[in-house]
């Protein structure tokens, strides 16, 4: 909680239009890695650049990431 995502795969925060492409990107990436870049506030108050990998998968619930994204 509180992380600021600035890159989601090949999409980035610079254009809001591209952020609407997150759900289709996730659908195209089932069983493939999606690299996220984000800013995270550290305990000392500094901001750190962090990378994470998401791998969308089919499961019994909604969405492919364990949640339903609505940009």
Residue 61 lies in a domain: no
69 domain-assigned:
no
Q: What does the radius of gyration of the chain's CA atoms come to, in whole angstroms? A: 13
Residue 66 placed within a domain:
no
Q: pLDDT at residue 18 above 70?
A: no
Residue 59: inside a domain, yes or no?
Answer: no
Q: Assign 31 a pLDDT band (cuts: 50, 70, 90).
A: very high
pLDDT at residue 39, as a whole number:
93
Contact status, residue 55 vs residue 25, Cβ threshold 8 Å: no
Q: Which pLDDT score, from 0 to 100, does residue 61 have? A: 79
Compute how many other C-beta atoms are within 10 angstroms of the C-beta atom of residue 16. Answer: 8
Helices (H) and strands (E) in the chain, counts: 2, 4
Per the structure, the complete domain to which residue 41 belongs is given by 4-54
* Cβ-contact 49, 42 below 8 angstroms: no
> Total structural domains in the chain?
1
The verdict on residue 71 lying in a domain is no
Q: Is 8 exposed, middle or buried (0-12, 13-18, 19+ CB in 10 A)?
A: buried
In terms of pTM, does the model score above 0.85?
no
């Amino acid at each position: 909680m509180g992380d600021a995502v600035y890159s989601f795969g090949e999409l980035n925060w610079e254009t809001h239009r591209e952020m609407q492409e997150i759900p289709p990107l996730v659908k195209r990436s089932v069983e493939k890695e999606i690299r996220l870049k984000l800013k995270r506030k550290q305990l000392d108050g500094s901001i750190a650049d962090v990378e994470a990998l998401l791998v969308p998968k089919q499961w019994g619930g909604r969405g492919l990431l364990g949640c339903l994204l609505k940009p």
